[in-house]
Structure 1
Amino acid sequence: MMRLSDSIEQFIKELLNEESTEVELKRNELAEYFGCAPSQINYVLATRFSPDHGYLTESRRGGGGYIRIVRVVQAGSQRLMYLVNDRIGDSLGEEECLRLISQLKEQRIVTADEAALMASAVSTRALSVPVPDSLKNAMRAKMMKSMLMTIASRNRNQIQN
């Protein structure tokens, strides 16, 4: 059974198909359609349509209020370099890593097999060594940056060939 948040996310992503990079919605109409409170719509927007997920949201409150969601279109290598240089700091938790990997797979920057390997490399199981979590998170950040640099390099080579 699909959770309400997942259903709302999927609905919005279907509206943002390949051709459309922007959609405008009315929060109350969307809440009515899904039979939920407008705050549930806000939750989905905040957690699944943030800049880290590749989206910008803009909203206007009031009677004629709306929500505009814009998918930020970046080429694969450009997106990867943003992640390496701006998004991933010196520390990255497992959940954050898995979210980034999922986005890369969704955006077809990595294959499902590559995503599975990446997720395995940053998993708690792979890092089950007797060191503090802060060190494990620092290792995850370095590993993610290294993997992303390799993928960006591969993508550049494919474009040149």
Structure 2
Amino acid sequence: MSVLSDHIESFIKELLTEDEGMAELQRNELAQQFHCAPSQINYVLTTRFSPSRGYITQSRRGGGGYIRVIQLDVDESEYISDIIDEKLQGGINMRHTAELVEGMLETGLIDRRSKNLILAAVSDKALCVPGEIKNELRACILKEILISTLLKEDD
């Protein structure tokens, strides 16, 4: 199922590129094109086109309904502040961490190598602490990484 999701995601991203950051989709037509249930399209939209990944989705129901996907023009400092204030308070699990870091990659905040390093540093395997404090420790580490991305190096 993941391969199908990857294909749907790639298709939508191509549309976004062609249409300068906005694409209107018909859920049923897209499902027919990919030979899947409309719920699969919903899954891709909610997991891979979320605000934390730099996208907004809007929908209108009914016969002439559509789904509009808009790629956000992200202000780096505002984006990072929002993540720290909203996503990292009280801890964060590994699944949400992976989504957040993928969003940082997609918005251009980090590169693929940095993504892999961050995920390795905050993985359950790397955090050798009891389960009840693992998510809090992960959030603290991510917060420091995010803050450091805002600091400009002096040449």
Task: Give the drift of 1:113.
Answer: 2.5
Query: The residue matched to 1:17 in structure 2 has which SS?
Result: helix
State the alpha-carbon separation in 2 of the partners of residues 78 and 55 from structure 1: 15
Displacement after TM superposition at 1:19 (Å)? 6.5
- 1:5 is paired with a residue whose SS is helix
Deviation at 1:73, TM superposition (A): 1.4
Contact 1:91 1:134 in 2 (8 A): no
Is the partner of 2:45 in helix, strand or coil? helix
Q: Distance in 2 between matches of 1:19 and 1:25?
A: 12
Deviates more, 1:57-66 or 1:110-119: 110-119
1:153 aligns with 2:151: yes
Deviations 1:43-66 (A, max 9, x none): 211222222222211111221111
Partner SS, residue 73 of structure 1:
coil
Secondary structure of the residue aligned to 2:57 is strand
Cα displacement (A) at 1:144: 0.4
Q: Identical aligned pairs, as a percentage?
A: 42
Structure 1 residues 49-68: aligned runs within 5 Å: 49-68=49-68
Q: Deviations over 1:55-105 (max 9, x none)?
A: 211111221111111112112232222211223222111122122222212
Shift of residue 16, structure 1, vs aligned partner: 1.2
1:47 alignment partner in structure 2: 47
Count how many residue pairs are aligned between Structure 1 and Structure 2: 155
Q: TM-score, normalised by structure 1?
A: 0.85
Structure 1 CA distance for aligned equivalents of residues 77 and 25 of structure 2: 31
What is the aligned partner in structure 1 of residue 137 from structure 2? Answer: 139
Computed over aligned residues only, the root mean square deviation of the Cα atoms, in angstroms, reads 2.1
TM-score norm. by structure 2 comes to 0.88
Structure 1 alignment gaps of length 5 or more = none
The match for 1:25 is 25
Q: Is the counterpart of residue 92 in structure 1 residue 67 in structure 2?
A: no
Cα distance in structure 1, aligned partners of 2:151 and 2:14: 31
Q: Which residue in 2 is equivalent to 1:109? A: 109
Q: SS in structure 1 opposite 2:151?
A: helix
| Deviating more after overlay: 83-92 vs 25-34 | 83-92
